[in-house]
Structure 1
Amino acid sequence: MYATRQDLEARFGTNEVANLEAMQTVTGALEEALQDATEEIDSYIAVIYQLPLPQIPSTLKRVACNITRYRLYYQQPTEEVDNRYKAEIAYLKDIVKGLASLPIRNEQNEVTEEKPKRNPKSIPIGTSYTGGVFSDEQLNKMPSV
């Protein structure tokens, strides 16, 4: 997971986390919300980064905390909580679009130059495609030109 209960308490205060937890009708809702936030983040960044990440940037901790907080609001989040959630989703979308990147650090605590591993949307010219949309049998039924 990208964030923990302690991260939520450090960011939003022990009282707010306790109040959010008290609003839940199911035990373990906080851990479930943290897991949901992690999976939501992964659904975006997995498009261009190889998971699991070698090191978790603190930006993802912030994103996970804001998404978890949003998910813990029982009925309707406040405007601030809603705006933070929307901003974090926009940030994740920017990462996917290549407008932002994750500051992944190496063992020397330096941001790595490692570029995300993008999946090409199309096949470059000069490569052979072996996937085949139509079988040979279907292609043989088509008229030749």
Structure 2
Amino acid sequence: MNYATVNDLCARYTRTRLDILTRPKTADGQPDDAVAEQALADASAFIDGYLAARFVLPLTVVPSLLKRQCCVVAWFYLNESQPTEQITATYRDTVRWLEQVRDGKTDPGVESRTAASPDGENLVQVQSDTPVFSRKQKGFI
């Protein structure tokens, strides 16, 4: 599941700039949304790598902050041949933010992975005998 769409890229960076970037990557030299879709899919997979440690994927609701970060990474991928300093700096900021999300220092607005609490009366209990080996017994019964 992509965190952003081609329309999100167009809203953030304009349709004209997107067409200029996708033209050289097609056989006929025409703008192609499939190139942008592939960049968005790659960016979403990249983001999933950071989110998988803390969140259940795929996300049911995509926060607007993740949508923005997906657009930043996809735009960096589309500019792979000649990214400007601003594009590179924004991409690096996004990677740092994703690292903070992965480490639990930043909240992206997504429900984190939690262990389900057991409900019910008949829960399993485990009982065992005393250990055979210990520091005092050293294996002798």
User: 1:117: which partner in 2?
Assistant: 113
Matched, 1:41 2:47: yes
Q: How many residues align?
A: 111
The answer to whether the Cα contact below 8 Å between 1:20 and 1:73 also exists between their aligned partners in 2 is yes
User: 2:131: which partner in 1?
Assistant: none
Moved over 6 A (4+): none
**Within-5 A mapping of 1:54-133:** 54-104=60-110, 114=111, 116-117=112-113
**SS in structure 2 at match of 1:23:** helix
Deviation per residue, 1:39-78 (Å, 9 max, x gap): 0000100111011112100011100100000000141200
Deviation at 1:36, TM superposition (A): 0.2
Matched, 1:11 2:17: no
Distance 2:99 2:77 in 1: 19
Deviation at 1:23, TM superposition (A): 2.9
Long gaps (5+) in structure 2: 116-137
Identity over aligned pairs, percent: 32
Long gaps (5+) in structure 1: 105-113, 120-143
The answer to whether the Cα contact below 8 Å between 1:66 and 1:88 also exists between their aligned partners in 2 is yes
| Aligned-residue CA RMSD (Å) | 2.0
TM-score by length of 1: 0.70
TM-score by length of 2: 0.72
**SS in structure 2 at match of 1:81:** helix
